[in-house]
Amino acid sequence: MTGQIDDLPKIVSVDTADLAGLGGQAIRPFRKAGFVMMFASRFSDQADRQYMSEPHCLLYLHRRVASARQAADRGRHLFGRIYNALTGADPDYILLTGHVLDTVLRVAEEPRLDADQRLGTYQVRRDVAERLLDVFTEKMKMAGHLA
């Protein structure tokens, strides 16, 4: 598996309308179901892009990495692969907004995204996201945000 994942790009910019899997396609009708769903969806999208503090970004990244690990574990069995295909779960990449990725890169002291790139959405290779999560967690412990 290590050889396969090393061949994948580390970070890929994506258009969220083109996300693979039935999970991304299945949610579209619900987003158009009415004003309340549209408002909630837009509010969630904007919150992910602009209003997350460092501790929230850590939690967000942790949950995304854990979901990818679960998808990888499920992918070892036929029904798990079917579940991953239906939900759009990707065991190789973690989907992050530009704001979250930029916050993680800033705390990890990695090269940051510019202002235009922060508006995008990115797929980060799972091993890269796990490394960033480890560094981010350590930095947050040193800052006193974690026990």
- The reply to whether 106 falls in a domain is yes
- The reply to whether 3 falls in a domain is no
- The reply to whether 2 falls in a domain is no
- The reply to whether 67 falls in a domain is yes
- The reply to whether 6 falls in a domain is no
- The reply to whether 97 falls in a domain is yes
Query: How many residues are listed for the chain in this entry?
Result: 147
- pTM given for the model: 0.72
- The reply to whether 63 falls in a domain is yes
> Cα-flanking dihedrals φ and ψ of residue 97, to 5°?
-75, 160
Q: List CB contacts of 144: < 8 A, sequence separation 6 or more.
A: none
Q: Please enumerate, as own/partner, the contacts of 69-72 that have beta carbons within 8 Å and a separation of 24 or more.
A: 69/126, 72/126
- Domain count of the fold of the chain: 1
**Given this model, what pLDDT does residue 66 score?**
95
pLDDT digits (tens, 9 = 90+) for 46-71: 655 567 888 888 999 999 999 999 99
pLDDT digits (tens, 9 = 90+) for 12-42: 777 654 554 444 544 555 555 555 555 555 5
Residue 26: which domain range? Answer: 20-142
- The reply to whether 5 falls in a domain is no
